[in-house]
Amino acid sequence: MAHVLIVDDEPALREGLAETVSDLGHHPVLAASGAEALERVAADPAIAAVLLDLRMPGELDGMAVLQRLRARPEAPPVAVLTAFASAENTIEAMRLGAYDHLTKPVGRADLAALLAGMLACSPAPPEPPALPDASCLIGSSEAMRRVQKAVGLAADSDATVLLQGETGTGKEVAARALHAHGRWQAGPFVPVNCAAIPADLLESELFGHLRGAFTGATADRPGAFREAEGGTLFLDEIGDMPPAMQAKILRVLQERVVTPVGGRPVPVTVRVVAATHRDLPRLVAGGSFRQDLFYRLNVVPITLPPLRERLADILPLAEHFLALGGAGPKRLAAEAAAALMRHPWPGNVRELRNVIERAAVLARGPVIGPSDLGLAGGLAPDREDAVPAWLDGNLPGAVARLEEAMIRRALRASGGNRVRAAKSLGIQRQLLYAKIERYGLGRETGMSENPTEAVLNPDA
């Protein structure tokens, strides 16, 4: 039985809600004003949910009470009830942390569903173990492992790297990983989107200019190549670069000398990483991209796989984005995780990040359900070949990849406690120990060194 605080200045509505709350098996606590509501919450730590009227007399109206309640260290969820709903008070209530905003009268079924959801908002779980920062290439799938190995091999090299892949696959993340893990890390990382800069300004953006070199040049500008001196210059969407600029970029890559507009040649020492979602060989064949520039860029080619070929990485990426978000600690329900695995992800990792960020903001409790994701359906009929990418190779290999992913997730959820992880997986503790050793997961998951403390029969 949960204690539910009902705050309303109208006795009939207050008593009617109390009767329904009592019929639903909960204990109603009544307050006729905002000040009385705050006193009740302070005096009764067992209050697990609040039904709050919006319009009340006195200095403390519903919004003021909501704000003060949500400022408490362990605030109960609050639902605002009003007969005068408007866009303004709805938005403001949700902004201040209301669980929901409903229009009176509220039916019995709706109230039952409302209370069930509010009471499911248990205290926030402990913070998960720290995940890699946003510049890391997250993933344990075979496709992503190949990318990680290629980045490691190329990180210390001076050679130009060409990153290819669909839009949203994480090409800039790979470029930042090349910079962060290589000998150029002490220098700056300077990204330039070649498709976002008008053709007549791109030369100045890349090579710089002197004051008075053209109309509007009111000061000297070094340009991206010189700004990246001693570090990495990332030329994103280089496949969209105008033909005239392609010739100039080719010369800079060959001679490592830039000529500012209106100035003299200046030598540069910089590592160049380029990226494109376009099919450069096809553009070369069609005459819209220089063949010699393609060969100069394609010294170390790295292809970023689409997310539909990285099924094993979807949940680790989702948890990573949840940890990066600023909406408080949230976790995925099992049904939500299954929905993520079924989605075809035409927008790749960028789409996944947007979905998770949106769900973290809009989910009214600490658990993100499938409806919070806003995904339409699962795999399209013509996309059913996305699943076999997870099953590439032989059966033991596919089973091992699934097993490792599930063990990683269970250990993270249990904070590294092997006993709880084994129970959640439905296997014996000794078998889990063996699998942790096999996959080398001990250090990565921060396992407890005393996992059996205060457990009498962990295998029961």
Map residue 219 onto helix, strand or coil. Answer: coil
pLDDT at 387: 44
What are 448's two structure tokens? 């407890």
Residues 138 and 319: their CA atoms lie apart, in Å, by 11
End-to-end CA distance of the chain: 30
Higher pLDDT, residue 56 or 162: 162
Residues 95 and 344: their CA atoms lie apart, in Å, by 32
Residue 418 sits in the same domain as residue 370: no
Residue 202 pLDDT > 60, yes or no?
yes
Q: Is residue 459 part of a domain?
A: yes
pLDDT at 384: 41
Q: Is residue 125 part of a domain?
A: no
To the nearest whole percent, how much of the chain has pLDDT over 70? Answer: 87
Residue 144 pLDDT > 50, yes or no?
yes
pLDDT at 326: 59
Residue 455 pLDDT > 60, yes or no?
no
Residue 285 sits in the same domain as residue 152: yes
Which of 71, 87, 119 terminates a domain? The answer is 119
Residue 388 pLDDT > 50, yes or no?
no
Residue 275 sits in the same domain as residue 409: no
Question: Which CATH number fits the domain that encloses residue 316?
Answer: 1.10.8.60
Residue 171 sits in the same domain as residue 264: yes
The confidence band for 328, taking pLDDT boundaries of 50, 70 and 90, is low
**Range of the structural domain that residue 286 is part of:** 142-303
pLDDT mean over 192-198: 91
Residue 348 sits in the same domain as residue 409: no
* Closest of 387, 235, 252 to residue 314, by C-alpha: 387
pLDDT at 160: 95
pLDDT mean over 248-260: 93
* Closest of 445, 408, 437 to residue 316, by C-alpha: 408
Residue 131 pLDDT > 80, yes or no?
no
Which of 264, 282, 303 terminates a domain? The answer is 303
Q: Is the pTM of this model over 0.85?
A: no
Sign of CA dihedral 331, 332, 333, 334: negative
3-state helix, strand, coil in the chain (%, to 5): 45, 15, 40
Residue 263 sits in the same domain as residue 350: no
- Rounded to the nearest integer, the mean pLDDT of the chain is 83
**Angle ∠(317,154,186) on CA atoms, nearest 5:** 85
Bridge partners of 100, per DSSP, are 79
pLDDT mean over 178-203: 91
Residue 383 pLDDT > 70, yes or no?
no
Residues 398 and 404: their CA atoms lie apart, in Å, by 10
> 47 with 40: CB under 8 angstroms?
yes
pLDDT digits (tens, 9 = 90+) for 392-448: 555 566 667 778 888 888 888 888 888 888 888 878 888 888 888 887 786 554 555
pLDDT digits (tens, 9 = 90+) for 48-104: 999 999 888 877 888 999 999 888 888 889 999 988 888 888 888 888 888 888 888
Residues 281 and 288: their CA atoms lie apart, in Å, by 10
Residue 83 sits in the same domain as residue 56: yes
Look at the chain and report how many structural domains it folds into. Answer: 4
pLDDT mean over 134-139: 69
pLDDT mean over 149-159: 91
Q: Is residue 221 part of a domain?
A: yes
Map residue 302 onto helix, strand or coil. Answer: strand
pLDDT at 457: 43
Q: Strand 257-258 to strand 300-303: parallel, antiparallel, or no bridges (unpaired)? A: unpaired
Q: Is residue 135 part of a domain?
A: no
pLDDT at 274: 97
Q: Is residue 133 part of a domain?
A: no
pLDDT at 394: 56
Question: Which CATH number fits the domain that encloses residue 37?
Answer: 3.40.50.2300
* DSSP line for 257-271: EE--BTS--EE---E
Q: Is residue 357 part of a domain?
A: yes
Residue 301 pLDDT > 70, yes or no?
yes
Residue 61 sits in the same domain as residue 166: no
Residue 190 pLDDT > 90, yes or no?
yes
Residue 146 sits in the same domain as residue 166: yes
Question: Which CATH number fits the domain that encloses residue 439?
Answer: 1.10.10
Residue 27 sits in the same domain as residue 44: yes
Q: 169-173, 210-214, 312-316, 357-361: which range is least confident on average?
A: 210-214
Residue 238 sits in the same domain as residue 149: yes
Which of 279, 303, 327 terminates a domain? The answer is 303
pLDDT mean over 297-304: 95
Q: Is residue 137 part of a domain?
A: no
Q: Strand 3-7 to strand 47-53: parallel, antiparallel, or no bridges (unpaired)? A: parallel
Residue 375 sits in the same domain as residue 450: no
Q: Is residue 180 part of a domain?
A: yes
Q: 152-166, 356-370, 393-407: which range is least confident on average?
A: 393-407
* Closest of 144, 157, 229 to residue 186, by C-alpha: 229
